[in-house]
Structure 1
Amino acid sequence: MRTLYFDCFSGISGDMVIGALIDAGGDPVHLETELKKLNMENEYELTFNKVVKNGITSTKFDVLLTSDAHDHGHNHNHGHSHDHDHGHNHSHEHSHDHGHEHSDRHHHNHNHDHRSYKKIVELIQSAGYSNRVEGHALSIFKKIGQAEGKIHGVALEDVHFHEVGAVDSIIDIVGAAILLEQLQIDRIKSSAVPVGSGKIHIDHGIYPVPAPATLEILLGIPIAESQVKGELATPTGAAIVAVLAEAFCTLPAMKVQSIGYGAGTKTFPKHPNVLRVIIGEE
């Protein structure tokens, strides 16, 4: 049984997942080719760079939005909880690393950014992916949509992904599903998920960590204590692990076949801000 273990010692975000999967042997060319099925390639460019985080060489994945994406941007109000991916760990922020911790992405407005939950489902269903890739991507988006709907008091079909609908979150989620299939992963397990501490600034104001949507997504999932000030788990990262992991445990007994490190955007003084992925035969 080919098992993948998410070792989330510094949290988890969508871009850290993609970086770690590429670092563990995922094929970036296959990823880019498959993502073209979404017909969004005029809105983004993908970059993969090797970076060193506190002594660990890891892969940093970024979604760079093109002017096509920015043109439509109308501040998404995101407010959302979201993907705050920010600052953090997440790349997303990406490129636009605005330094600021988080605050971020959120302004970037990426385009169609008020893609509704229904529109994102149609986008993924019309791409022609395998049942496995489509099923994983839709389940992850549904998990985020339900959390957002609950927090904001709206029905799932009325949820608009300001932030999560941003191009980069679609890429992170569909990309993770594509790479897990390409790596022929039979099952996924994960460590408990540290969420960080402190507060973050998002469009709705100053929020506690974990942000409400992230916490909702992690309902029923073991959360680990962390002294780090900052957001370690983002809604996208939390949803990927909440939906796909069948067990939360210490590293299972396995014959290790490959290891990957995916870098987050932030750098912390005392520990490497990376997600470790361990693939092996159980």
Structure 2
Amino acid sequence: MKTLYLDCFSGISGDMMIGALLDIGGDPAWLKSELKKLQIDEEYELQWEKVVKNGITSTKFDVLLKDDHHHEHDHDHGHDHHHDHDHHHEHDHNHDHDHNHDHDHHHTHHHHHRTYKDIVKLIESADFSSEVTETALQIFKKIGEAEGHIHGVPLDKVHFHEVGAVDSIIDIVGTAILIHQLEIKKVISSSIPVGTGRIRIDHGIYPVPAPATLEMLKGVPIEQSDVRFELTTPTGAAIVAVLTEEFSTLPSMEFKAIGYGAGTKTFKDHPNVLRVVIGE
């Protein structure tokens, strides 16, 4: 059985997951053409490139919002909150840039707050395979329920701010597309470090992990970590919680492929990457 092992030694976010799946052999052209079915491609561009994180070559995946073309680097993906970590962009200066941009610039400004219901409609009407639709909807439901629970709102009323919405739609639907394109039948994951400290979001200053992240990690083994940063984002938590069938250290299997997806932040003492392994 084709198994994907998620080695989340530096946490997990939606963009790290996509980066890792592209790195291990996911097809970016297929990802792009499938995502076009959502019919929101005038709102974003995808960018992926090889970067070196503390000595490890990995793939960095970014969703760039079209209306102002800034890198969404400091937003932890997939949140109905803007995060402000008070951090500068810390790029690795030893990028070997093989940039892949897809530019089709006709700018339309119709970002708005998308509700959970809007997003479900968007995914259901996109004509994906039933497996992709099902996986994407399950992951979104996990986030919607957690946010609803935290804020005391029914699922249908949960909404995502525009940055969070487009980012998390791409990260979640993209993950579903690539998991099925790679024909993964089972996902096993390590325990999940979440980080520590505080983050500033729309609602004020919150502890790490953010409440919705913690809510989604019920039943998931957490690993203590002293890193003062949000290692695992709500999107990352939702992906792990929905896809993973069991949690363990590296399982006994024959490894066929290994990939690394880069996170936004660079740490002094360890590579901020998600390692994925495909085995039988």
Under TM normalisation by the shorter chain, which class is it?
0.7 to 0.9
How far off is 1:164 after superposition? 7.2
Structure 2 Cα separation of the partners of residues 87 and 237 of structure 1: 17
Aligned to 2:172: 173
CA displacement 1:99-137 (0-9 Å, x = unmatched): 49xxxxxxxxx9634100001000000001111100000
The runs of at least 4 consecutive aligned structure 1 residues that moved more than 4 Å come to: 79-84
Q: SS of 1:122's equivalent? A: helix
- The percentage of aligned residue pairs carrying the same residue is 69
Q: Which runs of 5+ in 2 are unaligned?
A: 71-77, 91-108
Matched to 2:18, the amino acid is I
Alpha-carbon contact 2:195-2:225 (below 8 Å) kept? yes
Instruction: Map residues 1-282 of structure 1 onto 2, 5 A cutoff.
Output: 1-67=1-67, 82=81, 84=83, 99=89, 112-162=111-161, 165-281=164-280
Aligned to 2:105: none
RMSD of aligned residue pairs (Cα, Å): 2.3
**Equivalenced residues, count:** 256
Alpha-carbon contact 2:172-2:235 (below 8 Å) kept? yes
Query: TM-score scaled to structure 1, two decimals?
Result: 0.86
Query: TM-score scaled to structure 2, two decimals?
Result: 0.86
CA displacement 1:19-57 (0-9 Å, x = unmatched): 000000000000000000000111111011110111100
Structure 1 Cα separation of the partners of residues 221 and 230 of structure 2: 17
Q: Which runs of 5+ in 1 are unaligned?
A: 71-78, 89-96, 101-109
Residues 154 and 168 (structure 1 numbering): CA distance in 2 closer, same or farther, change over 3 Å?
same
Alpha-carbon contact 1:258-1:280 (below 8 Å) kept? yes
Residues 113 and 9 (structure 1 numbering): CA distance in 2 closer, same or farther, change over 3 Å?
farther
Q: SS of 2:255's equivalent? A: strand
Matched to 2:17, the amino acid is V
Q: SS of 1:33's equivalent? A: helix
How far off is 1:87 after superposition? 5.9
CA displacement 1:4-28 (0-9 Å, x = unmatched): 0000000000000000000000000
Residues 135 and 45 (structure 1 numbering): CA distance in 2 closer, same or farther, change over 3 Å?
same
Residues 194 and 134 (structure 1 numbering): CA distance in 2 closer, same or farther, change over 3 Å?
same
Q: SS of 1:123's equivalent? A: helix
Q: SS of 1:128's equivalent? A: coil
Structure 1 Cα separation of the partners of residues 239 and 233 of structure 2: 10
